[in-house]
Chain A
Amino acid sequence: MLTPQEIKEKQAWRSMGLKDQEYERICEFLGRLPNYTELGMYSVLWSEHCSYKHSRHLFKLFPTKGERVLIGPGENAGAIDIGDGLAIVMKVESHNHPSAIEPYQGAATGVGGILRDIFTMGARPIASLNSLRFGDPRDENVRRLVRGAVAGIGDYGNATGVPTVGGEISFADCYRGNCLVNAMSVGLVRHELLTRATASGVGNPVMVVGSTTGRDGIHGATFASAEFSEEDEGELPIVQAGDPFTETLLIEACLELIESGVVVGIQDMGAAGLTSSSAEMASKAGSGIEMDLTVVPQRDEGMSSYEIMLSESQERMLVVPKAGAEDQVKAIFEKWGLHAVVVGRVTDDGMLRVFHHGEVAAEVPAKSLSTDGAPSYVPEAKRPEYLDELWSFDFNQLEDLKQEEIQDAFWKLLASPNIVSRRWIWEQFDQHAQLRTLVGPGSDAAVLRLPGTKRGIAITVDCNGRYCYQNPRVGAAQAVAEAARNIYASGGKPIAITDGLNLGNPEKPEIYWQLKETVQGIAEACEALGTPVTGGNVSLYNETDGEAIYPTPIIGMLGLLEDAEKHATIGFKNKGDLILLVGENKDELSGSEFLTVQHGLVAGPGPELDLELEKRNGEFCRSLIEKGLVSSCHDISDGGLAIALAECAMAGKLGARVKLYCPERRDSLLFGESQARYVVSLPEENYDALRGLAEKQGVSISLLGRVEGEEFTVELGEEKVISTRVSEMLDLWSSGLERLLGEE
């Protein structure tokens, strides 16, 4: 290891991702030159991944308060009151960079990490979701990434007995070099067991529990805060390896420990392992921590203090129990075959002091490592020029579909990567473990019952990256709105979100502008829809060879159902039911999947968004479900009205006969993606009641047709433009993804 003087001479901080002025800042905090271990600790905790240094000043824009918010941003995960003394804990986390290198372990450890964020709070993980982005599925390397990531998520989640109940995936060229793997997890806890990550109480012991510490994953967080270049593809050791069995034991041991009442604070050792967990816990409590690394259980021999402090070995936690409870903690972990070792004590001097083999290996103010001390940058923002080009596109130059071209366009869209069934993916996930899944993947939102209460929850994760590229602010708001539509359409009332912001390099003015707009868009939509932000994750630097991904703010949303039985799914249920459109077509094609699939175009500012209308139409649909007036409900998103109708038909294995009147363009009517729209089906006898409600609430509805047996037909005026059978659509659509991935 370099001496402090050598570090200074060789400017060693640069290779750890620290800037010159950041090194200066460290020297100021310490009043001396940092040693190598200390430099490593700062470099990881001051990375974007840990400190959000280019983004955290923006988060004050988020609405974070609400009568249901028990714990907002700043803890391992947010907690939301759902009544009956119960709370839901939820969080999204990204594992993009590791997954791009080693998709199986990258994705698996992403799931492991987000599960730990949940049970660290005292909550039992009851469901997981995921949000994935890849390049063209016909590309060989993309196929390898998809296969690996899906298997990694499945194997880890399945082995831990936490069902994967939903998720989304989409494909676009911008994700070719930077795939996105975001995992979301949801936990259930009684209010009184909610636990925080704090190291308070001078003299209390500090314990390392769970797995042993090895050399895996050192500097993972720094790596996650840099752009990729071609040479990086050999960086294997940075990716950690997951052990879902140990995670299962850790879940049980931690929940038992928290229930025992001796825990003062507990923190997952995620990015930057021991460094982040100790610094964050001490900094939150305003205390200090003294630790001896010599006694940390290690799986590799001869590890240096630098390696032990920066290791990202998985399935580990830092626990601060009440003094005197050490043996009780050990007994619980031993019962589950896990380590629990006292490595230090809470002190009152605010210092993180680390000993190794009898010597002080590091001694730094705990707060200087945390976000209290980390630098915060407000980069220059500049509206990207590409927007002018996109927005100036004249849709009149685009020829409308002729009547006879519609059927082909429909088939092409139905078989396209972003519309074909995701069955191939979700069948690799155990969706039913724990017996709560009332609605699993393949509908709008997942719906879970919660035994012990009549209530249920709806959960979803959404984002349309293309909309965000076309207009970062409105696109981000649309992600919130789309999540809300999925919740409403399932019968839930949206109550909170967690977010995962995935963007490019914020040090570039155009990207920072995107980031700022994204945060503002989310804030506006959450304000309008009454869904506070309870926490989230930021993954920046998603660029390869200078090309950034679309801004992709993943929105994980929680909805509440007063009666879990009163939920809806998308599939048509009864032959003869009426089919209705809720909302209005705005004759717009911008941002649509159709435009990309049919014309190879991304153009215009994206679809219009009206948040008031979203709320009105969404609440209307939710009330229809609650009143039991409708048989099915589905929001209209990718592929527009025609695809939404086909999805309802395929999910219910029942056809439809739909008649539309076309005042303007045929293509926008059938395939445009106007927002705030739903397709519902209902028994004819409920129609009057529904119409009455729609009038009262000022919601626009129009009658489209009826549910049929096998035939699926769409007429424009008097002309049949789509005419097929449900089985024919299913043949193309349901195994479409494995066809595209070459997995047949």
Chain B
Amino acid sequence: MKFAVVAFPGSSCDDYLYVLKEVLKQEAASISHRDTSLQDAQCVILPGGSSYGDYLRPGALASLSPIMDKVREFAKEGGLVLGIGNGFQILLETGLLPGAMLPNSSLRFVCRQQTLKVENANTPFTGCYAQGQIIQMPIAHGQGNYYLDPASLKKLQENNQIVFRYTDEAGNATEEANPNGSVDNIAGIINQGGNVLGMMPHPERSCEAALGSTGGLGLFQSAIEFLAERVKA
């Protein structure tokens, strides 16, 4: 199996399976949070939604699921892990990515089409984008205000770990273009090993023009191409 989508109670797995199977014609299946094996998955997706109703803190309870031990091991071995929305929050709670998520600075949920800039096109998830490309994707979250202490942020910047920023249409990371108050307009980051990506915007909602944008298509295509190359090598 190529893509495994982890099903936590309250996750919206079906959206991811639909995009992977029906739109991208990929082999994909869901794995229960209770499972203790990732089977032969080549890329693990922690999906969006509201696992455990976002109780305690978004992602906090899901990060303690049995399957997460396996996801940690898988990531350590260099396996591709993609956390989207709530999945990003789970990655932060698991410690696979640095930082923490605060409530949006407006203190309101926000759902809209958002402009993003691809800040690092040299990752397994962004190879199909051009460096600096401006793309559109929907966001939908109440707690997407990414926070990191200044020293760690500096490290993140220096290591080129910021993958997506919220920007205006000209690519400027302005305060007005920041929908949730995230530090440095951060929308998505990757780990130092370059195999674990977390992002708040929803690429799975952005793979068909009929739904309003196609900015997310490149993300899945990049991962598919990366995996194909990896198999060849």
Quick check: B49 and A429 within 8 Å, CB to CB?
Answer: no
User: B-side interface residues toward A, CB under 8 Å?
Assistant: 9-10, 12, 14-15, 18-19, 22, 49-50, 52-55, 108-112, 138, 140, 142, 202, 204-205, 210-212
Alpha-carbon distance A429/B22, docked complex (angstroms): 26
Contact between A159 and B111, CB atoms less than 8 A apart: no
In contact, B53 and A435 (Cβ under 8 angstroms) = no
* Interchain CB contact (< 8 A) of A432 among B9, B18, B22, B202: B202
What residue of chain B has the Cβ atom nearest to residue A244's Cβ? B53
> What separation, in Å, do the CA atoms of A632 and B150 have in the docked complex?
49
Please tell me which one of the listed residues A248, A432, A435 contacts residue B50 in the complex, with CB atoms under 8 A apart.
Answer: A248
Contacts of B205 in A (CB 8 A): 432, 435
Q: Give A225-248 as 1s and 0s: 1 = Cβ < 8 Å from B's Cβ atoms.
A: 000000000000000000111101
CB of A608 within 8 Å of the partner chain = no
* Residues A432 and B142 in contact in the complex (CB < 8 Å), given A245-B9, A245-B50, A451-B18: no
Separation in Å of the B214 CB from the closest CB of chain A? 13
Asked whether A49 is an interface residue with its Cβ less than 8 Å from the other chain, the reply is no
Query: Could you tell me how many residues of chain A have their Cβ less than 8 Å away from some Cβ of chain B?
Result: 30
A–B Cβ pairs within 8 angstroms, 25 of them = A151-B108, A155-B142, A158-B50, A159-B10, A159-B53, A159-B54, A161-B49, A244-B50, A245-B50, A245-B52, A245-B53, A246-B53, A248-B9, A248-B10, A249-B9, A337-B9, A426-B111, A427-B109, A427-B111, A427-B112, A428-B109, A428-B110, A428-B111, A434-B15, A565-B210
Beta-carbon contacts of A419-438 to B below 8 Å, as 1s and 0s?
A: 00000001111111111011
B55 touches which of A154, A245, A426, A429 (Cβ 8 Å): A245
Nearest-CB distance from A333 to chain B (Å)? 13
A429, B211: Cβ atoms under 8 Å? no
Q: Which residues of chain A come closer than 8 Å to B10, judged between CB atoms? A: 159, 161, 245, 248-249
- Residues of B within 8 Å of A428, CB to CB, are 108-111
Give A394-434 as 1s and 0s: 1 = Cβ < 8 Å from B's Cβ atoms: 00000000000000000000000000000000111111111
A248 touches B109 (CB 8 A): no
CA distance A243 to B10 in the complex (A): 12
* Cβ of B185 to closest chain A Cβ, rounded Å: 19
Determine whether the beta carbon of A433 is less than 8 Å from that of B15: yes
In the bound complex, CA of A62 to CA of B153 (Å): 64
**Contacts A427-B110, A432-B205 given: A158-B15 contact, CB under 8 Å?**
no
Contact between chains at B12 and A437 (CB < 8 Å) = no
Q: Assess whether B138 is in contact with A432, with CB atoms less than 8 Å apart.
A: yes
Give the one of B10, B52, B204 with max A CB within 10 A. Answer: B10
- Residues of B within 8 Å of A435, CB to CB, are 15, 18-19, 204-205, 211
Q: Which residue of A lies closest to B61 (CB)?
A: A245
Kindly list chain B residues whose C-beta atoms are within 8 Å of the C-beta of A336.
9
Question: Per-residue 0/1 for A434-451: is the Cβ within 8 Å of any B Cβ (1 yes, 0 no)?
Answer: 110110000000000101
| Closest 10 pairs (CB-CB, A-B) | A245-B53, A159-B50, A430-B140, A428-B109, A432-B205, A161-B12, A154-B109, A248-B10, A430-B111, A435-B15
A431 contacts which chain B residues (CB < 8 A)?
111, 140
Is A433 a contact partner of B53 (Cβ separation < 8 A)?
A: no
Cβ contact within 8 Å between B22 and A434: no
| Chain A proximity of B163: nearest CB distance (Å) | 22
A427 to B52, CA, bound (A): 23
Cα A438 to Cα B213 with chains together (Å) = 11
- Complex CA gap A434/B19 in Å reads 11
For window 126-177 of A, CB contacts with B under 8 Å fall at 151, 154-155, 158-161
Residues of B within 8 A of A243 (CB): 53
- Given A159-B50, A432-B140, A451-B18, residue A438 in contact with residue B12 (CB < 8 A): no
Residue of A nearest to B55 (CB): A245
Closest to A433 in B: B12
| Closest chain A residue to B15, Cβ basis | A435
Binary per-residue interface labels of chain A (302-338) against chain B in the complex, 1 for a CB within 8 Å, 0 otherwise? 0000000000000000000000000000000000110
CA distance A558 to B61 in the complex (A): 39
What separation, in Å, do the CA atoms of A449 and B211 have in the docked complex?
Answer: 10
B110–A434 CB distance below 8 A: no
The CA-CA distance from A456 to B192 in the complex, in Å, is 45
Residues in A whose Cβ lies below 8 Å from that of B112: 427
User: Shortest distance in angstroms between B201's beta carbon and chain A's nearest beta carbon?
Assistant: 11
B12 contacts A155, C-beta separation under 8 Å:
no
Q: Which residues of A contact B211 (CB under 8 A)?
A: 432, 435, 437-438
Within the complex, what minimum Cβ distance (angstroms) separates B78 from chain A? 31
Taking the closest CB of chain B, its distance from the CB of A442, in whole angstroms, is: 11
Known contacts A431-B111, A432-B202, A438-B211; 14 further A-B pairs (Cβ under 8 A): A155-B142, A161-B50, A245-B9, A245-B10, A245-B53, A245-B54, A248-B50, A426-B111, A427-B111, A427-B112, A428-B111, A430-B140, A432-B138, A434-B12
Question: Chain B residues with Cβ under 8 A from A244's Cβ?
Answer: 50, 53
Q: Which residues of chain A from 373 to 397 have a CB within 8 Å of any chain B CB?
A: none
Assuming the A-B contacts A159-B10, A248-B10, A428-B111, are A433 and B140 also in contact, with contact meaning beta carbons closer than 8 angstroms in the complex? yes
Which residue on B lies nearest to A437, using beta carbons? B211
CB-CB under 8 A from A430, the residues of chain B are: 109, 111, 140
| Given A244-B53, A245-B53, A435-B205, A429 and B111 contact (CB-CB distance below 8 Å) | yes
Complex Cα spacing A429 to B138, Å: 12
B26 to chain A, nearest CB (A): 16
- Chain B residues lying within 8 Å of A429, measured Cβ to Cβ, are 109, 111
> Can you name the residue of chain B whose Cβ is closest to the Cβ of A441?
B111
Could you say which residues of chain B place their CB within 8 Å of the CB of A437?
211
Residues of chain B with a CB closer than 8 A to A246's CB: 53
B44 smallest CB distance to A (angstroms): 21
Report chain B residues within 8 Å CB of A449: 210
**A437–B210 alpha-carbon span in the complex (Å):** 9
A244 to B49, CA, bound (A): 12
Nearest-CB residue, chain B, relative to A429: B111
CA separation between A248 and B49, bound complex, in Å?
Answer: 11
CB neighbours (8 Å) of B212 from chain A are 432
Chain A contacts of B19 at CB under 8 A? 435
Most buried by A among B18, B19, B22, B108: B108
Closest A residue to B51 using CB positions: A245
Q: Is the CB of B109 within 8 A of A158?
A: yes
Distance between Cα atoms of A248 and B55 in the complex (Å): 13
Q: How far is the CA of A433 from the CA of B11 in the complex (A)?
A: 11
- A428–B210 Cα gap in the complex (Å)? 22
Chain A 43-61 interface residues, beta-carbon cutoff 8 Å to B: none
**Which of B12, B55, B111 has the largest count of A CB atoms less than 10 A from its CB?**
B111
CB distance from B137 to the nearest CB of A (A): 10
**Assembled-state Cα–Cα distance A437/B113 (Å):** 13
Whole-angstrom CA separation of A244 from B10 in the bound complex:
9
> Which residues of A have CB within 8 Å of B109?
151, 154-155, 158, 427-430
The chain A residue sitting closest to B110, CB to CB, is A427
Q: How far is the CB of B155 from chain A (nearest CB, A)?
A: 33
A122 to B55, CA, bound (A): 28
| Nearest-Cβ distance from residue B215 to partner chain A, whole angstroms | 13
Q: How far is the CB of A156 from chain B (nearest CB, A)?
A: 10
Question: Shortest Cβ distance from A241 into chain B, in angstroms?
Answer: 13
The complex places the Cα of A155 from the Cα of B22 at a distance, in Å, of: 30
Nearest-neighbor residue (CB-CB) of A336 within chain B: B9
Report the separation of the CA atoms of residues A565 and B49 in the bound assembly, to the nearest whole angstrom.
27
Chain B residue with Cβ nearest A436: B211
How far apart sit A155 and B142, CA to CA, in the bound complex (Å)? 9
